[in-house]
Amino acid sequence: MLRVSLRNLLVSKLRLLLTLAAVIVGVSFVSGTFVLSDTMLKAFDELYTGLSSGTDVVVRSQSAYDADINTTGGQVRPLDASVVDTVAGVPGVEAAEGSVFGYALIIDADGEPMQPGGAPTIGTSVTQDARLAGDVTYRQGRAPWGPHEVVVDARTARQAGFRLGDDVDVVLVGGRRTFTLVGVLGFGETDSLLGATLAGFELPTAQRVLDKRGVVDEVDVLAADGTTARELRDDIAAVLPEGVEAVTGEQVAADGTEAVRDAMGIFTTVLLVFAGVALFVGSFVIWNTFNVLVAQRRREVALLRAVGATRRQVLGGVVVEAAGIGLVAGVVGLGVGVGLAVAIRSLLGLVGIDVPSTSASIQPRTVAVALAVGLVVTTLAALLPAWSAARVSPMDALRDVPPPTIGSGRVRHAAGWSVLAVGAALLVATSVSGNQRWWTVVATLTAFAGLVFVGPSLARGLARLAGHGRRGGGWRMAAGNVRRSSRRAAATAMALTIGLTVVVAVAVTATSLKHSVTDAVNGGNRSDLILEPAGAGLGMPASVAEALRGRDDVADVVELREWGAQVEGDGTLVTGLDTEGLDHVIDLGIETGSLEDLRPGHILVGATRAEELGVGTGDDLVVTFPETGPQTMRIAGTFGKGSLINATYVLSMPDFEANVTSRLDGAVLLRTATGVDPLATKASIEEMLADYPNVTVNTPEDITRNAQDSVDQLLGIVTALLLLAVVVAVLGIVNTLALSVFERTRELGLLRALGATRRQVRAVIRREAVLMSLLGAVTGVALGAASGVALARSLADEGITTVDVPVGTLAVYAGIAVAIGVLAALAPARQASKVNLLRALSAE
């Protein structure tokens, strides 16, 4: 039986390749994701270990909780500079040096901001004692000295074309200044830190230009000979004030790697979701392929049973064949995944994320997962067909009849429609209630399960509609073939349904988000101009808003800042706003309480979140900031229109500044003076802000257009990834048609003998593909649209307030799906038209 299984594997090379490809796509995405993640973690672990190799102990403020580096930039409250002397006096300390970090945007020679891919723009003091520098080295030049010198990272120097001695303009929290470039820094073998730009100054200069006078952000300590890092850490901790901690350099490196791991978590999860979709589609392709193969080998299996093969041997033979395909797919998918990981790393470099160089990390876990996924998916998908093969009677070897075609029974029919009805009802319920993400997933899966059961009925119904052409016509013949093999046609269509469902659901959600942005701007915005920082940096200097307040053509200037915090123990963003003129630039939709009550010690809460927390106006909330810890605030009111500024919790600016060190604005909202043309004011402000090239001045229309463009870009990326699942579905159509052509060799020969031309035979095969693709398109678009509406409603808290179904786009998707079916049929149709007449008529 093992030899028979291996022979069956190699009987049809095309079928083997198509089945392998259906699994390889998903396996390669899974293995590639793990290889990419492990390689990047290895690279950053080596980088952080190298950077901290010269530091035995680091002294820093203790965060009130493990803050999200994506929302706080890892910033903690500065320390008084006197801590450096305190630490330096501890026995066992060889050297102690304070350092500061902050905002510094480097401008290139053309006046453009150096912020590749929206990367962070870091300003810092440079270590003067080379022993504390670790792997930070000078590729060129020397350390800065005095108030007019700067060093930059090697990547920035290369991209900007800087040379030693050049003037370098840097935008700082206090404005734009010019420095002389005296050195270029490297970080081990890497030219930058995660693609961030870095401007380095001597400590006194850095304290002045980064607004850190009299303070340091941390103290780096080198242990004397004979003193271990752990011993020195404990000795230093004994003399530190409350709220200040000492950690080893090894722990700092581990914290950096863990921060990268957390940041990559969402990225890794997203890629694994796409891999899961592709594997799900691939499982349908495999299931359908083995169903067809078992039907075609019915007589062969019966002969095996007649000569003594047991049911267990027949079952095992089919499973071994599937396992062989899965094992090969796992091995090949692992290799392809490594190449995919390398390609994604290169792509990250192109968009400005500088990943440290290191060899690819292929962990035993990755190998095991790749092989396991290939084996499990193929074996499970082949179990039902294998069970059907084991039930073949030995008497079938004596029957000279074609393999039987089995339709769907009444029980399956009734159960399928019942499950589909339950899924549809759940989708309606989740759409009406909203904010039900997991129930939306359950409803979609339930509805899809119902479609799988009723698929044969739908295929026969579609065949009846298409079979009303003239007798002997191509459509009628194609419809008859689909009707006779309704299960096969339905299974092929369902693979396409999966891919289209996800693509359409994403399209509906994205379109709803675009319209919600428009509604938010039109409904809640009262400002004439909105200033925002370009890229994905942490903000723009507060000096921009200060400069605007002195203008005669501007009536109101409101600064907006965001920072990570915990509210009642849950991590979130809090928003700081100027209260003066606030109601002139934005309508927050106050539902309870009053905007006038938003004063120090008070907070506004989004109405939906207040309901979830069970609180209202006058109640107290505990807001925990990373730098200052828990603060009790009184709820001044609730609001319902925070989507424009993505706000759930709003503080007055004095409270925000009392708890957050950063002085960077996320946006500045302006209302022009009465009778002043906003467009003229925009042009004048842009001219005034020439020293701040990273600041964009937008009208409400610009904000809407930019947000919609961002959604379109995201939709394009997601759709491109989901097309892999559609490609797998296409492979399934090709595989089914190719096997069908082989199965109908005699029938095709008779058609040719009765006068059918090759062109007519090709037309019949293409029309079969069209019918299967049409079934997949209709079910996929319908289920995707329903799921998309429910998904959009479940994301109301994320800013989706309007649900919109892009009918035109969905029609295009359906048309593309049908066209894909035609393309998938080209090779099988050509194969069918080339059937040898004599050989076909003599075929059994």
DSSP states of 242-263: TTEEEEEHHHHHHHHHHHHHHH
Tell me the C-alpha distance between 413 and 260, whole Å.
51
Tell me the Ramachandran region of residue 616: left when phi exceeds 0, alpha when psi lies from -120 to 50, beta otherwise.
beta
Residue 405 lies in a domain: no
Same domain membership, residue 221 and residue 110: yes
Residue type, 199: A
The first and second tokens of residue 416, run together, are 């399928």
Q: What are phi and psi of 671, to 5 degrees?
A: -120, 125
Domain membership flag for residue 489: yes
Residue 595: CA atoms inside 13 Å, Cβ hemisphere, count?
A: 16
Whether 639 maps to a domain, the answer reads yes
CA distance 586 to 492: 53
Worst-scoring range by mean pLDDT, 1-15, 131-145, 246-260? 1-15
Nearest to 816 by CA among 707, 727, 748: 727
Can you tell me the distance from the alpha carbon of 197 to that of 175, in angstroms, rounded to the nearest whole number?
18
- Domain end, chosen from 185, 220, 242, is at 242
Average pLDDT (384-407) is 62
Same domain as 842, residue 709: yes
501-515, 668-682, 728-742, 796-810 — which one is most confidently predicted on average?
668-682
Q: Are 776 and 792 part of one and the same domain? A: yes
Which pLDDT belongs to residue 145? 93
Amino acid at site 179: F
In a domain, 404, yes or no: no
Which pLDDT score, from 0 to 100, does residue 652 have?
A: 94
Q: What is the per-residue pLDDT across 248-304, written as a single tens digit (0 to 9) for each?
A: 988 888 887 777 777 777 778 877 887 788 788 777 777 777 776 676 666 677 777
What mean pLDDT value characterizes the chain?
Answer: 82
Whether the predicted pLDDT of 21 surpasses 50? yes
Q: pLDDT value at position 779?
A: 92
Residues 231 and 268 in one domain: no
Measure the CA–CA gap between 520 and 560, rounded to whole angstroms.
Answer: 17
From residue 335, how far is each of 367, 372, 688 by CA, in Å? 10, 15, 55
Q: Are residues 812 and 751 in the same domain?
A: yes
Task: Assign 408 a pLDDT band (cuts: 50, 70, 90).
Answer: low
200 burial via Cβ count (<10 Å: 0-12, 13-18, 19+): buried
Residues 234 and 338 in one domain: no
Helical H runs in 580-645?
582-585, 607-613
Residue 552 lies in a domain: yes
Contacts of 811 (CB under 8 A, 6+ apart): none
**Beta bridge partners of residue 221, listed in sequence order:** 57, 96
Residue 654 burial (CB < 10 Å; 0-12/13-18/19+)?
middle
Count of domains for the chain: 4
CA dist list (Å): 645 to 415, 524, 585, 746: 48, 9, 12, 68
**Interval 654-677: pLDDT, tens:** 999 999 988 889 899 999 998 899
Task: Say whether pTM exceeds 0.85.
Answer: no
User: Do 307 and 342 sit in the same domain of this protein?
Assistant: yes
Report residue 503 CA to chain centroid gap. Answer: 14
Q: Which domain holds residue 337?
A: 1-56+243-399
In a domain, 663, yes or no: yes
Q: How confident is the model at residue 206 (pLDDT cuts 50, 70, 90)?
A: very high
Q: Are residues 174 and 260 in the same domain?
A: no
Residues 519 and 493 in one domain: yes
Name the domain boundary from 198, 221, 242. Answer: 242
Is pLDDT of 536 > 60?
no
Q: Among 246-255, 405-414, 620-629, whose mean pLDDT is lowest?
A: 405-414
pLDDT for residue 615 is more than 90: yes
Choose the final residue of a domain: 661, 676, 698: 698
| pLDDT given at position 742 | 60
Indicate left, alpha or beta for 475 from its phi (over 0: left) and psi (-120 to 50: alpha).
alpha
The Cα–Cα gap between 680 and 671 comes to 13
DSSP string, 223-237: EPTT--HHHHHHHHH
Q: What is the pLDDT of residues 334-393, one digit of tens each?
A: 888 888 887 777 776 665 555 666 677 788 888 888 888 888 888 888 887 778 777 777
Question: Does residue 176 lie in a domain region?
Answer: yes
Paired with 123 in beta bridges are 102, 199
Residue 705 has pLDDT above 90, yes or no: no
Alpha-carbon span 727 to 817, nearest angstrom: 11
Alpha carbon distances (Å) from 316 to 303, 310, 357: 16, 10, 47
* 237 and 102 fall within a common domain: yes
8 is a domain residue: yes
Same domain, 563 and 689: yes
Calculate the alpha carbon distances from 112 to 115, 376, 531 in Å: 9, 53, 17
Residues 537 and 469 in one domain: no
Q: List for the chain the helix, strand, coil content (%; round to 5).
A: 60, 20, 25
Residue pair 5/321 in contact by the 8 Å Cβ criterion: yes
